[in-house]
Structure 1
Amino acid sequence: MMSEKLFTEMALSFPGTEQQPHFERTGFKVTGRRMFATYLAKDNTANIFLTPEEQKLFCKMDRKNIYSVPNKWGEKGATTFILDHVKPELVWEALYTAYTAIVKQKK
């Protein structure tokens, strides 16, 4: 099981990241840019913002505990990770992938 503390530490471990409220969630973003992940404490889940292609790859690894957010954001790559059941190494890889995509984007 992955705790909120561990998820937060991972998300903030990348250079230039910050934490901020995002509706009922906690958001993680690259300072001055958009979010790359959110965390929901009540069900210990994270939504990580991947590309649709990356989303497909991560979902194949664990279809039960990693899945597309069931809305328009999910169609764009927003992916839910059930942190009680997904290995921390896999979550870290998804966070790194999402963070890197934002850093590479032009402002």
Structure 2
Amino acid sequence: MVTGSDLRRLALGLPGTTEHPHFDRAAFKVARTYVTLAPDGLTANFRFTPDEQALKCTVAPDAFIPVPNGWGRQGWTTGTLSGLTEAELAAGLRMAWAHAQPSSRRRQR
């Protein structure tokens, strides 16, 4: 079980990540936002591809669900932090972080 503090620590440990306010949430970004943390620290929205979202929601349906709107159809996925281990959270953050890189860096991968 992880907390919002764990998410903040792990996200800020990824290269180039900065934290910014995003409406009522905390947003973590590199060139673009890759995860937002709810004000209560209980859930976070991750930027996955639709295929990654489908995998996460299939493998861990108690922890991941699509955001219920157009953002969800683009891959944005809500994670319930209490349903994740630190390793699962770190893997999800790294996956989302990879999508937030500047365009030139993503092409190099």
Identity between Structure 1 and Structure 2 (%): 33
Equivalences for 1:86-97 in 2 at 5 Å? 86-97=84-95
1:98 aligned residue: 96
Of stretches 45-54 and 61-70 in structure 1, the one that deviates more from structure 2 is 61-70
1:19 aligned residue: 19
The 3-state SS of whatever aligns with 1:90 is: helix
Of stretches 95-104 and 3-12 in structure 1, the one that deviates more from structure 2 is 95-104
Shift of 1:90: 1.1
1:2 aligned residue: 2
Q: Which amino acid aligns with 1:12?
A: L
Shift of 1:104: 6.1
Distance 1:4 1:53 in 2: 25
CA RMSD of aligned residues (A): 1.5
Shift of 1:63: 1.1
Distance 1:75 1:104 in 2: 22
TM-score by length of 1: 0.90
Contact 2:49 2:75 in 1 (8 A): yes
Shift of 1:7: 0.7
TM-score by length of 2: 0.88
- Structure 1: where are the runs of 5+ without partners? none
Distance 1:24 1:2 in 2: 21
Distance 1:41 1:23 in 2: 10
2:82 aligned residue: 84
Deviation per residue, 1:28-52 (Å, 9 max, x gap):
000xx21000000326101000000
Distance 2:92 2:79 in 1: 9
